[in-house]
């Protein structure tokens, strides 16, 4: 892709922020030398003796080196000052870490890429240990090119960079800097979802470190088949995944058309999303990436073949005038160049939530109007972004065909929303939290009023107090609980794991 086009796209699409924070969640202050309790200090010393590699265990007193690892959480609100950060370089070292943490009763958090927005999910303050998986970052393509073993510490841009030149790819993230581990455990929405389901529907096997330190390989056809199924929805409730074996498939060039519409076209644009879902999305080679801002809607139309004006996108072509951002045929790596700037570091705080509904054109408009009404009350300097994710019925169907998962998706076209509020003034947190809650409450009430509600909450974009596991349905919840009881009978991942969508919250 020409550099001039890439730069134009990066500028136009660099709008989705990163850090989530609310008033009652601790946010890192300026002091990086908070006191460490004696028990945590002793645990960290044990870990330092056990992990002998370079930067195996880092303390706040290690200064810039420690801060570099701490700041891998790109959300400023998630850069909490752990008692120490450990960087195991193998499953065996992860096993050693878990044994020490369990024996000492020390709290911990696990981080792969650090792109979760919620403080405490992939971070922890001085009361515990941050287990960073960043050293588990290999991508190994099998000799027959049918599978690839991928470490959770990879970023998707690294994975695609290794695989795409070989003519294959895997179902993974839509934005390059996102980490592998969190996306895979949360389901993972990709540009291939309509064809191939969610990312975790495409796992052949998991390498997992259990609470007792055992290292097992879980697949659909071995003695750990129940654990394999549990990891397709059950998240971090069973152990630490240290490797994902994913099925690969051939990949060529995409047709890419990124365009922006005027604010006076917003209602028609939102209705066009519903039309696309009812007609265009029946073509499994089509995919879209959408965001709606105060300046108007922006969409990236992707077709998984190098064609011109794919009929699948007629609903958007028929809107009339637009501003072209970029149009080209390019590789998956080129597509990442469009989306990579949607995540940025810095001191911006962000919070948002998610909800799901059946396809309804009028409801699309009503919900966005609610968002606009509420965000009109934002404090000075704060802003919002509205991100509809059109999901085809085939996402649920393919998931069942590929062995099933535990998230309880209904086989109907649906919308998974992401919406964000960003701000930098910490004194605004409570006001923004209040507005956030009103957005979710009003939007879910509006969907119920039109008999369009669906229970599912997308793990990768859910808010901190949303009942994600409960949205999967009681049968799936009971299955997750049973698997957790079997593989973690001492409840290490419930009692010591700092936070996350855990069964202890049910």
* Per-residue pLDDT at 4 exceeds 60: no
Distance CA 12, CA 263 (A): 15
DSSP state of 379: P
* Per-residue pLDDT at 145 exceeds 50: yes
Query: Tell me, what's the pLDDT at 157?
Result: 95
> Alpha helices, DSSP H only, in 81-231?
91-104, 156-163, 180-186, 193-196, 225-230
User: By mean pLDDT, which of 71-85, 294-308, 437-451 is the weakest?
Assistant: 71-85
Query: Tell me, what's the pLDDT at 439?
Result: 97
CATH value of 139-250+471-505 in 3.30.310.50, 3.30.465.10, 3.40.50.970, 3.40.50.920: 3.30.465.10
| Residue 29's pLDDT band (cuts 50, 70, 90) | very low
Q: For domain 254-466, is the CATH number 3.40.462.20?
A: yes
* Per-residue pLDDT at 278 exceeds 90: yes
What is the per-residue pLDDT across 423-448, written as a single tens digit (0 to 9) for each?
A: 888 788 889 889 999 999 999 999 99
Domain at 31-132: CATH code: 3.30.43.10
Residues 6+ apart with CB under 8 A from 56: 47, 48, 86, 87, 88, 89, 93
When the pLDDT of each residue in the chain is averaged and rounded to a whole number, the result is 91
**Span 191-210, mean pLDDT?**
98
* Per-residue pLDDT at 51 exceeds 50: yes
* Per-residue pLDDT at 16 exceeds 80: no
| Residue 342's pLDDT band (cuts 50, 70, 90) | low
> Alpha helices, DSSP H only, in 250-293?
266-278
Q: Is the CB of residue 415 less than 8 Å from the CB of residue 409?
A: no
Q: Is the CB of residue 210 less than 8 Å from the CB of residue 484?
A: no
| Residue 76's pLDDT band (cuts 50, 70, 90) | confident
Burial of 481 (0-12, 13-18, 19+ CB in 10 A): middle
User: By mean pLDDT, which of 182-186, 389-393, 416-420, 479-483 is the weakest?
Assistant: 416-420
Distance CA 246, CA 172 (A): 10
**Span 48-52, mean pLDDT?**
94
Distance CA 477, CA 406 (A): 8
Query: Tell me, what's the pLDDT at 344?
Result: 54
More confident residue, 349 or 91: 91
**Span 210-214, mean pLDDT?**
98
Task: Please provide the size of the chain in residues.
Answer: 506
Q: Return the percentage of the chain with pLDDT > 90, whole number.
A: 83
* Per-residue pLDDT at 69 exceeds 50: yes
DSSP state of 179: B
| Residue 78's pLDDT band (cuts 50, 70, 90) | confident
Query: Tell me, what's the pLDDT at 92?
Result: 98
Query: Tell me, what's the pLDDT at 345?
Result: 59
| Residue 6's pLDDT band (cuts 50, 70, 90) | very low
Distance CA 77, CA 29 (A): 9
Query: Tell me, what's the pLDDT at 24?
Result: 37
| Residue 13's pLDDT band (cuts 50, 70, 90) | very low
| Residue 343's pLDDT band (cuts 50, 70, 90) | low
Query: Tell me, what's the pLDDT at 130?
Result: 98
* Per-residue pLDDT at 180 exceeds 60: yes
| Residue 491's pLDDT band (cuts 50, 70, 90) | very high
**Span 218-232, mean pLDDT?**
98
Q: Return the percentage of the chain with pLDDT > 70, whole number.
A: 91
Domain boundaries, the chain: 31-132, 139-250+471-505, 254-466
Query: Tell me, what's the pLDDT at 353?
Result: 94
pTM: 0.91
């Amino acid at each position: 892709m020409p550099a001039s086009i890439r730069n134009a796209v990066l500028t136009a699409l660099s709008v989705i922020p990163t850090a989530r924070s609310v008033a009652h969640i601790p946010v890192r202050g300026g002091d990086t030398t908070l006191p460490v309790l004696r028990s945590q200090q002793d645990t960290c010393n044990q870990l330092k003796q056990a992990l002998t590699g370079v930067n195996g265990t880092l303390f706040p007193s290690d200064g810039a080196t420690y801060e570099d690892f701490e700041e891998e959480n790109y959300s400023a609100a998630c850069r909490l000052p752990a008692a120490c950060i450990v960087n195991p370089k193998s499953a065996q070292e992860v096993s050693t870490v878990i044994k020490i943490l369990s024996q000492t009763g020390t709290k911990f958090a696990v981080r792969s890429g650090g792109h979760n927005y919620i403080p405490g999910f992939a971070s922890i303050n001085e009361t515990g240990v941050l287990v960073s998986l960043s050293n588990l970052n290999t991508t190994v393509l099998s000799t027959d090119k049918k599978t690839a073993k991928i470490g959770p510490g990879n970023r998707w841009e690294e994975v695609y960079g290794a695989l795409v030149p070989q003519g294959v790819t895997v179902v993974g993230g839509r934005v390059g800097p996102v980490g592998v581990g969190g996306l895979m455990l949360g389901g993972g929405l990709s540009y291939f979802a309509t064809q191939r389901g969610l990312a975790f529907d495409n796992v052949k096997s998991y390498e997992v470190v259990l609470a007792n330190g055992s290292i097992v390989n879980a697949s659909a056809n071995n003695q750990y088949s129940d654990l394999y199924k549990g990891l397709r929805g059950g998240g971090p409730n069973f152990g630490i995944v240290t490797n994902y074996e994913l099925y690969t498939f051939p990949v060529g060039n995409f047709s890419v058309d990124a365009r922006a519409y005027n604010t006076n076209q917003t209602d028609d644009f939102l209705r066009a999303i519903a039309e696309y879902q009812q007609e265009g999305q029946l073509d499994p080679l089509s995919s879209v990436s959408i965001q709606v801002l105060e300046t108007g809607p922006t969409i990236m139309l992707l077709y998984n073949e190098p064609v011109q004006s794919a009929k699948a996108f007629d609903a958007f072509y028929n809107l009339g005038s637009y501003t072209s951002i970029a149009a080209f045929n390019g590789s998956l790596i080129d597509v990442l160049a469009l989306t990579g700037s949607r995540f940025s570091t810095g001191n911006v705080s962000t919070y948002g939530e998610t909800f799901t509904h059946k396809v309804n054109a009028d409801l699309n408009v009503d919900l966005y109007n609610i968002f606009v009404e509420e965000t009109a009350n934002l404090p000075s300097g704060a802003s919002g972004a509205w991100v509809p994710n059109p999901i085809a019925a085939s996402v649920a169907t393919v998931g069942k065909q590929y062995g099933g998962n535990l998230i309880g998706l209904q086989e109907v076209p649906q919308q998974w929303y992401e919406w964000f509020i960003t701000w930098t003034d910490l004194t605004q947190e409570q006001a923004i939290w209040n507005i956030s809650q009103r957005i979710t409450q009003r939007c879910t009430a509006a969907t119920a009023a039109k008999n369009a509600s669906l229970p599912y909450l997308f793990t990768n974009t859910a808010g901190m107090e949303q009942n994600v596991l409960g949205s999967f349905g009681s049968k799936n919840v009971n299955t997750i609980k049973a698997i957790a009881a079997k593989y973690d009978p001492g409840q290490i991942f419930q009692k010591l794991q700092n936070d996350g969508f855990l069964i202890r919250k049910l």
